[in-house]
Structure formats: C-alpha cells, structure tokens
Amino acid sequence: MPEAVRAVVMTGPGRPLELRRFPAPRPEPGGAVLEMVASEVCGTDVHLHHGRLPGVPYPIIPGHVNCGRILETGGPLQDVEGRPLAPGRLVTFFDVFGTCGRCWYCLVAKAATRCPKRRVYGITTSADEGLLGGWAERIELKPGVRVLPIPEGLEAEDFMGGGCGLPTGFHAVERAGVALADTVVVQGSGPVGLNAAVFASLAGAGRVLVIGAPAARLQAARRLGADDVLDITDVPDPADRVRWARERTAGRGADVAIEASGTPAAVPEGLEMVRDAGTYVVVGQYTDAGDAAINPHAHLNRRHVTLRGCWGFEFTHLHRALLLMARHVRRFPWRELVTRQYALEDAGRALADMERLAVVKALVRPSV
C-alpha cells in the first residue's frame, strides 16, 4: 500500500484548487476505504467554489457522488439487503451520513433531509477530518455510511453518467406524484432535469417535454426519451415558451411540471405551464439566486395547483434509482451524459468547463 494518496483540495471560495498528499487511510471499525474510480463534478461544486453555500468547512475535498472499489473494510460490511460486500467490489455510497434518527425532523416530521445532524461528503466535511470527498485516489467511508454495490451489468461510467442528478431527479419525480399518462414538462436540461425526464418516463408519463439549453443537452434529452424539446436560446421570451408548452398540452398546461433550472424567474413561468389542479415541483433552486414575482391569485389560488419544494434525496431514492438504472440502461443511455473526464490535476479545468456548460457531465478520475 502506498504511504500517501493524492486529493484535490478546495481551500476556500475563489481560491485555486490544490493537489495535496494525505496519509493512506485505514478503515475505522464498521467503515471502509475505497480506491476511487470516478467522482462527479456537479453544479454544486461550482457553487462551492464561488462560496454560495453557507457553513462549508473549507478546506474541503469536493466530490459527493462517487464510484470506487472496496480496498479494505473495518469488519464485515453489508448492503441494505444484508448481502456481504467484499474488497474488490465496485460500489457507490450514500453521501449523506450522520442523520440522527432521534430528532423531531427524523422522528415526528419524518423529513430526514431536514435533520440538522446530517452531513454530506464533499460538502460539509473538512479536509482536516480526512479523505471525505471523492476528488482523490482514495476515500474513507465512516461507520454508518450506506454502501451500495453497483449492480451487475452496470459499469462505473453508467452510474456516474447519472451522478447526483440521478437520485435528485428520482426524488423530484416521486414528489411530483406523476400518474400514468400524465404530461410532464421539465424546465432545465442539466443533469437533474435530464434525470427527471427519464424518471418521468419510467413512472409512466404519457408525454415528456424538456425546456433548456444548450443544444447538446437538448439532444441528450431526446436520447433520454423526451418527446419534444425547446431551446431557450431560440425562444427567449417566457410568454412564448408558455405558449409552446400549452400548445402541446391541449391548451391546459401540463399535469406536472418540474423546475430544474436554478433560475428564480423559471418559477412563475413554470406555474403558467401547469394545468389547473396540476402539480409543480421546484427542485433546481439549490442556492439563493434571488426572488421571483408570483401572482397568488392567478398562479396559486384560482389554479388550485399543488407546488412542492424538493430538497436533496434520501437513501431510498438512490437505492431505487440504481435498481431502475440496471433495468433500463439500454433504453436510457446515461453514460452518454459523461462528456469529459479529468485527471485530479485538471479538476480546476473541470469546474470551469462545468460552469460555462461546455459539458453535460464531467468526472474527475485518479487514472484517466
């Protein structure tokens, strides 16, 4: 075993990334160490680099969605079904840990994504605590971190093509309560929007429309089953986009719309794309980009609409998303979303490419 492993460290907002050496980690009892195969470059990482998230304990090692091989375990390790996980196995893990199971949100509201104790790999874990982010040669899994084997028939590239958007899009579709034959509009063609489109199809939607940009992402939407797409750079006026959506939804608007754009103005626009008594899920507003003007009478009350905010995801979403990926990977080519892979030393370039939407999905790999 080497005496040191390399990892990318984000030392603070706006500062250049650094490649540092850490002592080779050993697993705690109940934990594990993975040899990293690939880690995602997520829109969140761009936000982290701009300092847009509160309470981040810089320096951090980014990379919250990851794929690796088990190198060593601190005792027997099992998946959620109770099946043993041995060294050599290709796995991912649920990046959220520490959810207490004891607080009011966990026990009474049953809203685990709002547990104040929950922590997230690569976001709320400091590099001072160890290798707790995926842009590294190895990663330490704390005791209690839930490990999921990559199902037979899937490779790291398939899973990573889904990335963070896979369980997030799954969660948004579940929260939307898509019913059989519903028409679904997705605003935004980034990883979350594309995965929301996939899971809307899988949940039995009768028609899926994706609105976004740039063209490459909309082509990906088509390959992932969207019936029709609209490029917002071609149609810059929101009223025209609403008209486009309504023309494709019997003039009524969609049964379900899912906001995955991150732009506040998308919210009133999306509300106009939903039919009366329909459902609108807001999942894309991960950081505070300002206010939006909505009309409580016209958008909410008279429309009898249901609007749901959707924050993060739970283990069940990742677990079930992975089951469905294994079943449908030929129908929905997630791996094509991986536009480019970067070595650890090129992580800064990955962030820059991500920010200017030059890639759909970027990965950081120790061995490209």
Please state the closest distance from residue 59 (CB atom) to its own copies, in A.
25
Q: Looking at 55-63, 153-161, 166-174, 240-248, which segment touches its own copies (CB under 8 A)? A: 166-174
Element at 254 (helix H, strand E): strand 254-259
Q: Does 53 bind its own copies (CB under 8 A)?
A: no
Q: Does 12 bind its own copies (CB under 8 A)?
A: no
Q: Kindly tell me which of 31 and 366 has the beta carbon lying closer to its own copies.
A: 31
Q: Does 305 bind its own copies (CB under 8 A)?
A: yes
Q: Looking at 134-142, 236-244, 283-291, 346-354, which segment touches its own copies (CB under 8 A)? A: 283-291
Give the number of residues in contact with its own copies, rule: CB under 8 A: 80
Residue tagged 């027997």 (tokens)? 76
x/- track of binding to its own copies for residues 233-252 (CB under 8 A): -----------------x-x
Return the closest-CA partner of residue 17 out of 56, 54, 60, 47. Answer: 60
Q: How many CB atoms lie within 10 A of CB 107?
A: 12
Q: Does 320 bind its own copies (CB under 8 A)?
A: yes
Q: Does 117 bind its own copies (CB under 8 A)?
A: no
Please state the closest distance from residue 151 (CB atom) to its own copies, in A.
11
321 phi, psi to nearest 5 deg: -60, -40
**Cα torsion at 29, 31, 36, 37 (round to 10°)?**
130
Applying CB under 8 A, among 113, 126, 219, 339 the residue interacting with its own copies is 113
Please state the closest distance from residue 295 (CB atom) to its own copies, in A.
5
Q: Does 304 bind its own copies (CB under 8 A)?
A: yes
Burial of 306 (0-12, 13-18, 19+ CB in 10 A): middle
